Amino acid sequence: LPSMQTSGSKRCSCPSFKLREVASMYFTMIAVFLVILVVALQGSVPRGSDFPYKVPLDPQGLLELSWNVSYPEQAVHFQLLIRDLQFGLLFGMSDRGEFENADLAALWSDGHNSYFGDAWSDAKGQLHMDSQQDYQLLGARKAPEGLYLLFRRAFSTCDPKDYLIEDGTVHLIYGILEKPVHSLQAINISAIHRGLQRVQLLKPNITIPELPSDMKTMEITAPDIVIPSQETTYWCYMAELPDGFPKHHIIMYEPVITAGNEALVHHMEVFQCAAAFDSFPHYNGPCDSKMKPDRLNYCRHVLAAWAMGAQAFYYPEEAGLAFGGPGSSRYLRLEIHYHNPLVFKGRRDSSGIRLYYTATLRRYDAGIMELGLVYTPVMAIPPGEDAFILTGYCTDKCTQLALPAAGIHIFASQLHTHLAGRKVVTVLSRDGKEQQVVNADGHYSPHFQEIRMLKEVVTVFPGDELITTCTYNTEDRSRATVGGFGILEEMCVNYVHYYPQTQLELCKSAVDPGYLHRYFNLVNRFNDEEVCTCPQVSVPQQFFSVPWNTFNRDVLKSLYGFAPISMHCNKSSAIRFPGMWDKQPLPTITERLREPVPRCPPTPGPRTATAVPLNLGELRR
């Protein structure tokens, strides 16, 4: 446990005491204080087994973070294992993983004395001790494997210098101090080894369903490949189910990570191929290789998805994801994203995903539905935008036609954009009034996508609307970003997992093309530069020729905010449900959800803005 001290004195008018009496009273009070403190710390320090979530922070695995979430306390308990402690560590959170304007817990040493404190960095990256100490140190202990540091942090502190821990992605940052420092302010963040890791800190408190006795497992894993010695690799491997494999339900899946590669395997997905093809070629290699057969692009139906820091995924006890049997392809594609910033060579890997399945079919087949925007260039983002918003609709007309009277139950969600995506949210609306958030990520990263179980199941009835909004940043781009499949094009999608399965597989929208044509005509009329609106010129080319002045940006925003939409209310066969789906009016929202107000924890009194001394002994030079 940390060694803590109090210091300082205050002048007052006091009765005269002998020096011996004063000293005796002083040391008695100190002893009582330390006993109370040690008992309090021992009672509040979680055991190692109490940290169910774990992730390596750095590519070498020298820093390992474990944590748990207490919703009654509205707090996260952290356990940080530092395998090779030098002269300290910075750990914290920021909006996008930057070290400027960050909220930090700092451990530093001058080589003899060590200190812990709650700190923050300003816009220039200069560190400051926080006047409100909200990273609460619970303990520190040395073990053969390294130093364990235990501390606590409330979700919300109502300190303007602190990060608000919310649902969705959290960008964790770390910095390793390799030289002794004499004060917090002496730490130069530009001169230290640092990095970031993305996690979902606030895991849902899900009750694990009972698993059937006839449950079997199947591992879809890479066949002992050599991880390429480059920073980023997407590896594709084709697998297939046994011939004549009957219908089963997947009821759970979990990652299988080759020991030693925990810091390199960033995320993995298993896709089922389209049943329209009788066979698919075998392939084992980089997904972007020219040698990859084009037919593998028809393996897009997600069966399982895992990202670093995620645990096992469980289906609700009344539903399972069907695979196998008639009308289902035998062919599966495993895709693994390796993140190898230190460019390790010769690392072999057999990671993948373990599926748990049963032949005893559950009451309902689970389904996956796409919400958001259609993959079309008519939805575009001008260059140089810091927060441009696009919205896709699943309208009341579509849900009225396609959903059963008892509704469907959404239990999980996977948000998806390409590189410009910064925020994604889907809201359920009924009769023009927003009811609840289905899933939201205010710090979304396209580099961290996983299927997330929802904290509570969302029921959608016929006539409800599902509205998905994406926020994009294109400040680093010089021309318009259009919608499409390319990595430099954009998407706005929420893949919702629900039961019972219906015929509705895609419920998305895009602006009516006729209204977009009017926009190009208007731009052409009011600008000196020619914007070709002739039919033979593609929509992307027309967007690329727009001069992006304030007027043209504002008119495009306005167009997306009022123009009619083309609805895609599609069955799994990619055929629309019968009806008129073009030039549909935008849904009208008359009542919006209130923004949640952060709950401030009760303050036990002002915490002194000073560092806590730690007895870690001499640290190595």
- Within 10 angstroms of residue 550's Cβ, the number of other Cβ atoms is 7
Catalytic residue among 234, 283, 298, 515: 234
Give the pLDDT confidence score for residue 528 in this predicted structure. Answer: 66
So what's the architecture of 369-598 in CATH?
Sandwich (2.60)
Rounded alpha-carbon distances, angstroms, from residue 336 to 220, 222, 235, 287: 11, 8, 5, 9
Helix (H) or strand (E) holding 519: helix 513-526
CB 358 within 8 A of CB 236: no
Q: Across residues 188-200, what is the average pLDDT?
A: 93
Give the pLDDT confidence score for residue 212 in this predicted structure. Answer: 92
Cβ burial, residue 15 (10 Å; 0-12/13-18/19+): exposed
Taking only the tens place, the pLDDT of each residue in 521-545 is 888 887 766 666 666 789 999 999 8
Q: Which two tokens stand for residue 538?
A: 């593609």
* Dist. CA 84–CA 145, nearest whole Å: 9
Q: What is the DSSP string of 134-158?
A: -SEEEEEEEETTEEEEEEEEES---
Q: Across residues 94-115, what is the average pLDDT?
A: 95
Q: Across residues 145-160, what is the average pLDDT?
A: 95
Q: Across residues 21-26, what is the average pLDDT?
A: 44
Kindly tell me if the per-residue pLDDT of 37 is higher than 60. no
Residues of the chain with CATH 2.60.40.1190: 53-203
pTM, 2 dp: 0.85
Rounded alpha-carbon distances, angstroms, from residue 162 to 107, 119, 272, 312: 17, 9, 43, 31
Kindly tell me if the per-residue pLDDT of 32 is higher than 50. no
Kindly tell me if the per-residue pLDDT of 307 is higher than 80. yes
Of 461, 327, 357, 353, residue with least CA distance to 404? 461
Give the pLDDT confidence score for residue 1 in this predicted structure. Answer: 37
Peptide bond into 500 cis (omega under 30): yes
Q: What is the DSSP string of 228-264?
A: PSSSEEEEEEEEEPPTTPPPEEEEEEEEE--TT-TTT
Residue 261: φ, ψ to 5°:
-110, 15
Give the pLDDT confidence score for residue 327 in this predicted structure. Answer: 87
E strands, 512-590, in order: 565-571
Residues of the chain with CATH 2.60.120.230: 369-598
Question: Mean pLDDT of all residues in the chain?
Answer: 88
DSSP letter assigned to residue 576: B
Q: Across residues 39-51, what is the average pLDDT?
A: 51
CB 619 within 8 A of CB 108: no
Strands 331-339, 232-240: pairing kind: antiparallel
Q: Which two tokens stand for residue 217?
A: 């497992």
Give the pLDDT confidence score for residue 603 in this predicted structure. Answer: 60
Taking only the tens place, the pLDDT of each residue in 316-349 is 999 999 999 998 999 999 999 998 988 999 999 9
Catalytic residue among 171, 267, 301, 416: 416
In the annotation, is 249 catalytic? no
Strands 364-365, 319-323: pairing kind: parallel
Taking only the tens place, the pLDDT of each residue in 220-258 is 999 999 999 999 899 999 999 999 999 999 999 999 999
Tell me the pLDDT band of 22, cut-offs 50, 70 and 90. very low
Tell me the pLDDT band of 26, cut-offs 50, 70 and 90. very low
In the annotation, is 499 catalytic? no
Residues of the chain with CATH 2.60.120.310: 206-362
As beta bridge partners, residue 423 has 471
CATH of domain 206-362: 2.60.120.310
CATH classification of 53-203 is 2.60.40.1190, yes or no?
Answer: yes
Residue 524: φ, ψ to 5°:
-65, -35
Residue 99: φ, ψ to 5°:
-95, -5
* Dist. CA 183–CA 43, nearest whole Å: 31
Q: Is 27 helix (H, G, I), strand (E, B) or coil?
A: helix
Taking only the tens place, the pLDDT of each residue in 586-614 is 999 999 999 888 877 666 554 567 888 88
Taking only the tens place, the pLDDT of each residue in 112-137 is 899 999 999 999 999 999 999 999 99
Residue 520: φ, ψ to 5°:
-60, -40
Residue owning tokens 């390199």: 264
Residue 424: φ, ψ to 5°:
-140, 140
